[in-house]
Amino acid sequence: MASDPSVRSAATSPRFARGGKDTFFSYKNDEMHAEGVPLVTIAAQVGTPFYCYSAGALRAAWQEFADGIKGMRANVCYAMKANSNLAVVRLFGELGAGSDIVSVGELQRALAAGIPAGRIVYSGVGKKPSELMAALQAGVGQINVESTAELETLNAVAGQLGVRADITIRVNPDVDAGTHEKITTGRKENKFGIDIDLARDAFALAGRLPHLRVRGVAMHLGSQIDSLEPYRGAIGRVRELIAQLRTDGHSIERFDIGGGLGIVYSDERPPSVAEFLHMVDKETSGLGCELTFEPGRRLVGEAGVLVGEVILVKPGVPKTFVIVDAAMNDLIRPTLYEAWHEIQPVRQRPHAATIRCDIVGPICESGDFLAQDRDLPPLAAGDLIVVRSAGAYGAVMASTYNSRPLAPEVMVDGTRFAVVRPRPTIEEMLSAERFPPWMESAKS
């Protein structure tokens, strides 16, 4: 997730010169469609801004993993933090995915979407005793423990329930994934996992705790990783650790490799899923572990878009501002991570001259932008724009800042579409709040 060092027009970006997944969001008669549905049709019925997910693109992304793990002793648990919409989670569950969760809220979502508890992996650096109890009561298949303090807490909670908890211990291999500093998780200075140099002591402690059953080792290097080398280096380090742990008497049956494989936002060239899985298969050959993969962004990122409407165009001396009704509260990645998202008009003008502009929202913040210094065809009030590769970390990170309702989410499947999370009304937002009793008394 790098900063945006260059400007390129939507018409010539290499991101959209390829086939494949791009066909799920493509121009037909110069009008952008989601599969077989014009985005203008959805906008007319749902209003803007809205998120739109392609069921076909989700299935295609899943199939890459399903094909890649054939012949491997492996399973795939979708990392729900990327997009926790119930319809998205259920779609993956029906295809055979488990869920990687990081909160009790995600646990409840996974169960509500029909994911069997035994296919749920509970990750996360800070789990409260009440959250661990909920996970054990639900019967989750695996808890990834990230500290010795959590080992002792989980042991106590499992003891209260009279059960043994199946765990892996997440180690921090101290490998730099070369990604954005805010989404790297595998370096010593990151908060995640147990330092690999301290891991044998942690496993020894876990082996002494009566209500824990140590099943394996977990790792996670970060997000939006565009090279195989960090994975290769980390797997090598963990493989050495597994050999040491077995010498220490531990039965290590599982290796949770995590997720983090990147997608295309602009002109990135991340490894294919097939290349990634082939490398993992080779590097873990003979290890004798069941493997777990936890892709999130790679499954949903390119399968979703954000659609907004131009409110007005504001010419300026240094640049032109195109003010749209989608804002940083709808998609915070550009301002939080300096992230690039390709932006295109929903109605294409193939031969129109471009203008240099910033695409900004109406929020009262200078950081409220979706793109800066972009060359786009001239836009006018009422035009629709589409923000590409917005299926991951879009709606899940949205807020109601400036009392703006959350954008609805829509799923398209072929020529049909449905709202899978409606836009709340202002009245519904207000109804969730309460005056304290003394204000009620003063009013009366």
* Contact predicate 113/93, CB 8 Å: yes
Rounded Cα distance between 156 and 133, Å, is 10
Distance CA 88, CA 300 (A): 9
CA distance 13 to 40: 23
Query: Would you call 364 a catalytic residue per the annotation?
Result: yes
Residue (of 4, 39, 50, 6) closest to 421 by Cα position: 50
Using left for φ > 0, alpha for ψ between -120 and 50, and beta otherwise, residue 163 falls in beta
**If we measure between CA atoms, which residue out of 137, 76, 128 comes closest to residue 102?**
128
Number of Cβ within a 10 Å radius of residue 289: 21
Residue 38 forms beta bridges with which residues?
A: 33
Check: CB of residue 370 under 8 Å from CB of residue 324: yes
Quickly tell me which residue has 């962004």 as its tokens.
Answer: 297
Q: Which residue has the tokens 């471009």?
A: 354
The single residue of 52, 77, 357, 364 carrying the catalytic annotation is 364
Q: Tokens standing for 1? A: 């997730």
Q: Which residues are catalytic?
A: 364
